[in-house]
Structure 1
Amino acid sequence: MEFFADRAEAGELLAERLQDAHDPVILALPRGGVAVAVPIARKLDAVLDVLVTRKIGYPPTPELGVGAIAEGGEPVLDLALLHRLGMTPEDVADVVERERGELARRVRAYRGDRPLPVLEGREVIVADDGLATGGTARAALRAVRGAGPAKLTLAVPVGAGETVESLREEADEVVVLLTPVDFRAVGQWYDHFDQLSDADVLRLLGRD
């Protein structure tokens, strides 16, 4: 069974699969995706920044994601799941607004007043540390697609096979190193999978 020592090693391995990228912009999904993206950006000598996303949780059980939102994009809701839960998009409107506020706070924390790099006409690689349901990655890809990139790639070390396949509809290319049959959680495929703080993100970006 294959495992990654940590996110940095996973990023190094991903970078080897991305060397044909032409002058890309790397957008990392905080927080864990930043640790994966740093070695990719270093290897490709690429611009690196964050693309902030927020999960939209099911109100009675916020840990259950019913959608996500990324900066510059609209909320992406799992309408089939909402239907099974007996809910409509209007039922999570308050959650969406709350997450918009937290998203804006994190953008200020990570980037200050600087805008995202120009993405139109560029090759863009969206990086994260893994894919479970893929909700935040889907929201991120749709937000980036709206900015008009020349090519949009999703790069992750590990992901659930069904999720990876569903996201091929959103990206021009999906680069993934492992799609284990017995996937249960992203963290199980790393020897070290510490939770990162905002301070960790800023340190990794050289903005502390």
Structure 2
Amino acid sequence: MSAADFLLAPEVQKLLLLVYSRPACKFTADEIAKASKLTVEEVQQTQEHLVKCGILTKCKSTADDQEAVCANTSFVFYRELRGIALKSFAAAEPVRAMLRSKFKRSVLRAYLLGEDQQGMVELLVVHGHEVPDEKAMSAACRKLSVSIGRHLKVHVISGRQYATLTGRDDLGMKLAGASAMEVIAEGDTKAKPAAEREGLIESARKKLAALAR
């Protein structure tokens, strides 16, 4: 299977999103189709391809003895592929979709900062002129945590705070780390940057210039 197949094929992404989120579980074609909203035929074709590549392995379902598949944790690139899956479409895409739909007027930028050994995903949200509602953001993140199977730890800061982050700050260090990934870039949403406050001297100069006209 080519890298393009793995990264771009929607059927592959949906199937691996489910299997890699719960690598110890066994999934029948019917279960995968129901969870991923693919047809059974699409699931069967895709999983056969992944089994031949060694990414998945066939097993028996514990429920009704049907044939099932599960993650092949002994596959030589298992850790790398699972890391790519969890970092990209398994976490980034759902987070991006949630922020763009529910907080498009307030979220200016957003970054996934990484995932710890317990599966906690850290998210940095930079707001613009409008501040996202705290209760709405908490509720949306709790709901998203359930759907992606991982807890979210969310930091919400202003654009001004973001601009002052340095390598000495905890968030600044994580933002500069190799695992950080931008999910919302400035301009991706309708959020507007906060208006910068003019310095007192600059403000006074403009007022004097206006009076002199």
TM-score over 0.5 (shorter chain): no
Say which structure, 1 or 2, has more relative contact order (CA 8 Å, 6+ apart).
1
**TM-score (norm: length of structure 1):** 0.28
Q: Which has the higher strand share?
A: 1
